[in-house]
Chains A and B, each alone.
Chain A
Amino acid sequence: GAVVSQHPSRVICKSGTSVKIECRSLDFQATTMFWYRQFPKQSLMLMATSNEGSKATYEQGVEKDKFLINHASLTLSTLTVTSAHPEDSSFYICSAPGLAGGPRETQYFGPGTRLLVL
């Protein structure tokens, strides 16, 4: 299957600071990547779709100015949580559809990033 990595795996920051999370497709190219958020004992909620070479598409209720997404290349998407507040503390997971080495249209997920805002 396709491999997706995320960095960092954990981050603790002070309220008001910005945090950048990277998502990389390691063995395939991804023109589209997805960012999810998961609260404890809850399912994954799609935040936005990251598109290489164009603007991200945000789901209803997600503030695009707070969650900045940049799809810099065919293997890298970044999510920046700006002016983070404690309520932004969550588990952030990215995914990418893998066409090489896996079933058609399957999404492969990264290991996730645990964000704690103090």
Chain B
Amino acid sequence: EDQVTQSPEALRLQEGESSSLNCSYTVSGLRGLFWYRQDPGKGPEFLFTLYSAGEEKEKERLKATLTKKESFLHITAPKPEDSATYLCAVRWSGGSNYKLTFGKGTLLTVNP
């Protein structure tokens, strides 16, 4: 059973069409949930860290929220340059220090 599940696997949006990406986790003792953006052929770029349920973080058109079982990455009025794979990862008490467990990502395509 996957510990971190992201949905949908792929999402196509029109420019300006807001939507949300989901990351659900089954680990216990969450020590942090991380969102990254990855462009093709490049390493992940850090976006947000969330530590406790109810926490929210915003950056430009992106807003991340966290509950006890899942996190959402809301994209408001996306632009073509927001097209990328968005990765979710968790640190949890069952893992070693700093170890991240990643989901498989959501490939977002924003059409002009």
Closest residue of chain B to A33 (Cβ to Cβ) is B98
Q: Are B98 and A114 interface neighbours, CB within 8 A?
A: no
Neighbouring A residues of B96 by C-beta, 8 Å: 49, 57
CA A4 to CA B42, docked complex, whole Å: 12
Within A77-118, the residues touching B (CB, 8 Å) are 91, 93, 95, 97, 102-103, 105-112, 114
Known contacts A49-B96, A49-B99, A57-B96; A93 and B32 CB within 8 A of each other? no
Task: Tally chain A residues at the interface, Cβ within 8 Å.
Answer: 27
Residues on A facing B (Cβ under 8 Å): 1, 4, 6, 32, 34, 42-46, 49, 57, 91, 93, 95, 97, 102-103, 105-112, 114
29 A-B contact pairs sorted by A residue (CB < 8 Å): A4-B43, A6-B43, A34-B99, A42-B104, A43-B87, A43-B104, A43-B105, A44-B44, A44-B87, A44-B102, A46-B99, A49-B96, A57-B96, A95-B43, A103-B49, A105-B31, A105-B32, A105-B49, A105-B91, A106-B49, A107-B46, A107-B100, A109-B36, A109-B45, A109-B46, A111-B43, A112-B42, A112-B43, A114-B41
